[in-house]
Amino acid sequence: MKIAEVIVDITNSQVDKIFDYYIPEWGQVGQRVLVPFGKLVIQGFVIKIKDNSNYDASKLKSVISSVDEFPVILPEQIELMSFMIKKYHLRYVDVLRLFIPSELRSDKVKPLVEFLVKLCDGADLKQYKLSLRKNAKNQLALCDYLEKEKLYQKSMLAKQFSNLAISKLESDGIIEVFEEEKLRTPNFNIVKPIAHTHTKLQKRAIDEILNCNDTYLLFGVTGSGKTEVYMSVIENIIAKNKTALMLVPEISLTPQVLSQFKARFGEEVAIIHSGLSAGERFDEWRRILFNKVKIVVGARSAIFAPIQNLGIIIIDEEHETSYISESNPRYNAFDVAEFRKNYNNCSLVLASATPDIASFKNASENKYKLIELPERVNGKPMPKIQIVDMLSEIRNGNTGIFSSTFLYELDKCIKEKHQAMIFINRRGFSSFMRCQDCGYIAKCDDCDVSLVYHKYEDKLKCHYCGKRYKALTKCPECGSSTIRNGAVGTEQVVSKLKELYPNVKILRMDNDTTRTKNAYQKILSEFGMSKPGILVGTQMIAKGHDFSDVTFVGIVDADQSLYHSDYRSTEKTFELITQMAGRAGRDESEGKVILQTYVPRHYAYRFIANYDYKGFFDKELNLRKVTQFPPFTTIIRLLFNADVDEIVRETTKMCYTEIKELKNNYPKDFVYLDVMKSPIGKIKNKIRYQILMRITHDNENELISQIYNICDKYMNSKVSVFVEINPQNLS
């Protein structure tokens, strides 16, 4: 008998290896099977079938049965699994679980079947009716009804004519009842497909992408019509009988794009994102697996979709950090996209108005082909960005959150019955509450962070663990009742605006207002209909939205992301504000952007106001080179977590000693190495320490693999160790 290599579906690091089993003739690679495992019978996945085993043949057990009739993992995914395990030091089962929706593994969701009814071949309804007794009213009525159509839903017939009548006709051989699967598909606003005549630049971009298989960076300003480029490219690809995969960030945020895809490609597109119901996700995944669709559009995890014969992969808004998974299993969707591009020998398109510095560096070194869309489709200028110095506002006696220019432009926008978007990247009412007399700041009991005041609920909240506390009316330390609020958040902006415009629709979009399913869609469509209207929000409102009547964009506090203790803070600020500004003036009426700052002379703002990405890029890249930060080096953080301070401190120290030895063996490769308490020393009652290093690219892979091995030794039931490569968040 043949031998199958099987990965068992158990999360236990001790059993994360491949097991050999005998498998009968029916066995296929990629199939889900049941296998004996100790005293249990569990699910496993066949990843290889071979003739011989290295284990003692007499001790091998046999696969019990298959779970599905078809393979659920593609050969491509089996190779991808090896790639990911090697690159990210992951466990087999964790990778496999990325490939298969949990709904399938748990067997909790079943295909939705419908019972249908049709007339049997050769059934003579007239003759049959004559044979019925006069008082068989339901049967007679059913017979009359059945002459109308070919196919009926059984449930509908049962309601009208009773189940009994149906089973009588069935047993008399007049009708046939059979099952058919009904696929659940996500709902969309139905829109009419828009047919655009391509601009010259769009046409050039489309031709270039279709010309040869390569990696492209599509650098197009906001409103340059990138979505139309994607759709045309995809249209061409599927005309050649190939398939397409497109990643978009936070999919539920851009229902407009999805509706356009559905309008243009209908049943040929499958959608995957976290907002789907379990049944929808299960069915969309199976439509893909069974080659029923040609296009997959989805958020990060859609990169694993079992779509075959790829002709193109597109990553929209490629600078978005949501393409990187920062919790187990950690991976970067780019690496996976690159793997799939090579496997399928197809093109990969990365697109953005504000490309990641590392991507643009690759393009400038000709590792990617650069395609530019420097103008908006309608030839309209980019909205003018005016920088307002908030210190001089204070000097002039205005201590409010809005400058006079801000208020003037907003007022103009409202009077003209246009729409305004106001950006403040902090949710809640104010960032902290502090006692004016003794300096006491309310902090979370379980995390080393200050609490944020939420006025709507009148509660203090921890943004790290979610714990809620009573709001302060007086200081618990000194009893003083002069409590001061910290920096403004979305709630406060909304409440100020409501005072100014009691009759204008003002909507808020942030993590607090979008917890329920479809909340995004509701807020966005309500805003779309409100003229005049104001949408206040965090970074959620900055990206992708295409509202034609937005003429004013206000940035309340631009500096906020500038002072994160992160080497990327300037890049992130540039990106966020440029994207936010891009929401204004997308149609006929011109747009205006007011950017409020306390450091008006910061170089980032000069480049932002001039829409000078390339100037910014040169300056930033040079800075990174001089200071030896990514993309010139790689940052590695080893994060240690435990309940007891002493245990985690000791473990970190021991590990640090070993890493220092490693550094001695590779003295040229380490540009930085240190050990310390993490910036946030405690989260959810876990004490956090870290070892931080930066290494050059010369021996990067070798070093990372050695670091993984070192860390494995310190992982135990008391301490957890995370190895983070270029982490997005260093708190």
Q: How far is CA 245 from the centre of its chain?
A: 15
State in Å, rounded, how far the first CA of the chain is from the last one.
55
Q: Is 452 in the site for Zn ion (CB under 5 A)?
A: no
Three-state DSSP at 343 gives helix
In the list 124, 179, 458, 477, the residue contacting Zn ion (rule: CB under 5 A) is 477
Which listed residue (462, 558, 580, 703) binds Zn ion by CB under 5 A? 462
**Three-state SS for 120?**
coil
Q: Which partner in ligand ADP, Zn ion, none is near 606 (CB below 5 to 8 A by kind)?
A: none
* Residue 680 binding target from Zn ion, ligand ADP, none, CB below 5 to 8 Å by type: none
User: Taking the complex as a whole, how short is the minimal distance between the CB of residue 197 and ligand ADP, in angstroms?
Assistant: 6
Tell me which of Zn ion, ligand ADP, none is bound by residue 220, counting a contact when its beta carbon lies within the kind-specific cut-off of 5 to 8 angstroms. ligand ADP
Residue 597, helix vs strand vs coil: strand
Kindly indicate which of the ranges 53-61, 130-138, 226-234, 354-362 contains the residues binding ligand ADP, using the contact rule CB under 6 A: 226-234
Q: What is the DSSP string of 366-384?
A: TSSEEEEE-S-TT-PPPPE
* By the rule CB under 6 A, 227 interacts with ligand ADP: yes
The token duo for 119 is 């007339």
Closer to ligand ADP at the Cβ: 117 or 581?
Answer: 581
Tokens of 449: 């962070």
Choosing from 480, 627, 709, 728, the residue that interacts with Zn ion (CB under 5 A) is 480
Total chain residues near ligand ADP (CB under 6 A): 16
| Among Zn ion, ligand ADP, none, residue 514 binds (CB under 5-8 Å by kind) | none
Tokens 């990372």, located at residue: 704
Cβ-based nearer residue to Zn ion, 447 or 488: 447
On whether the CB atoms of residues 224 and 374 are closer than 8 A, the answer is: yes
Residue for token digits 């393979």?
Answer: 71
Residue 420 CA to residue 583 CA, distance in Å, equals 10
Q: Examine residue 442 and tell whether it contacts Zn ion (CB under 5 A).
A: no
Query: Per-residue string for binding with ligand ADP, 329-368, x by CB under 6 A?
Result: ----------------------------------------
196 binds, among Zn ion, ligand ADP, none (CB under 5 to 8 A by kind): ligand ADP
Give the tokens for residue 620: 């930033």
**Residues between 264 and 293 with contacts to ligand ADP, criterion CB under 6 A:** none
Which of 57, 164, 478, 644 forms a contact with Zn ion (CB under 5 A)?
478
- Hey, is 12 helix, strand or coil? coil
Sole binder of Zn ion in the list 422, 475, 580, 703 (CB under 5 A): 475
| Amino acid type, 44 | G
Considering only 30, 71, 223, 355, the residue that binds ligand ADP (CB under 6 A) is 223
Q: Which of 18, 164, 391, 438 binds Zn ion (CB under 5 A)?
A: 438
Does the footprint of ligand ADP cover residue 224 (CB under 6 A)? yes
Q: Which two tokens stand for residue 665?
A: 């063996």
Contacting residue, 31, 66, 77, 202, with ligand ADP by CB under 6 A: 202
Query: What gap in Å lies between CA 296 and CA 378, rounded to an integer?
Result: 29
Map tokens 């952007």 to a residue.
Answer: 593
Radius of gyration of the chain (CA): 30
Rank residues 313 and 462 by Cβ distance to Zn ion and give the closer one: 462
Q: Determine if 374 is a binding residue for ligand ADP (CB under 6 A).
A: no
Taking Cα atoms as reference points, which of 161, 158, 106, 111 lies closest to residue 139?
Answer: 161
Alpha carbon distances (Å) from 585 to 196, 380, 590, 695, 729: 19, 8, 5, 44, 33
Question: Between residues 194 and 391, which has the closer beta carbon with respect to ligand ADP?
Answer: 194
Helices (H) and strands (E) in the chain — how many of each? 22, 32
Q: Which is nearer to Zn ion, 157 or 642 (CB)?
A: 642
Q: Which of 89, 154, 226, 300 binds ligand ADP (CB under 6 A)?
A: 226
What is the number of other CB atoms lying within 10 angstroms of the CB of residue 680?
14
**215 or 256: whose CB is closer to ligand ADP?**
256
Stretch that binds ligand ADP, among 166-174, 198-206, 243-251, 668-676 (CB under 6 A): 198-206
Residue 196, interface with ligand ADP (CB under 6 A)? yes
Distance CA 204, CA 372 (A): 10
Closest CB to Zn ion among 242 and 467?
467
Compute the half-sphere exposure of residue 210: CA atoms within 13 Å on the CB side of its CA: 19
Of 197-205, 286-294, 301-309, 715-723, the window that binds ligand ADP (rule: CB under 6 A) is 197-205
Q: Give the nearer residue to Zn ion in terms of CB position, either 63 or 447.
A: 447
The bridge status of strand 483-485 relative to strand 433-435 is antiparallel
Region near ligand ADP per CB under 6 A, out of 37-45, 216-224, 412-420, 500-508: 216-224
Residues in the chain: 731
Are 428 and 512 in contact by the 8 Å Cβ rule? The answer is yes
Q: Select the binding partner of residue 324 from Zn ion, ligand ADP, none (C-beta < 5 to 8 A, by kind).
A: none
Residue whose CB is less far from ligand ADP, 223 or 727: 223
Pick from 311, 296, 259: which is nearest to 544 by CA?
Answer: 259
Contact between 465 and Zn ion per CB under 5 A: yes
Strand partners, 62: 22
- Angle between helix 357-364 and 613-627 (nearest 10): 100
Residue 120 interacts with ligand ADP (CB under 6 A): yes or no = no
SS3 sequence of 57-78: HHHCCECCEECCCCCCCCHHHH
- For position 590 contacting Zn ion by CB under 5 A, the verdict is no
CB of 228 or CB of 571, closer to ligand ADP: 228
Nearer to Zn ion, 271 or 444 (CB): 444
Angle between helix axes 154-161 and 163-171 (nearest 10 degrees) is 110
Instruction: List contacts with ligand ADP (CB under 6 A).
Output: 194, 196-199, 202, 220, 222-228, 377, 546
Instruction: List contacts with Zn ion (CB under 5 A).
Output: 435, 437-438, 440, 444, 446-447, 462, 464-465, 467, 475, 477-478, 480
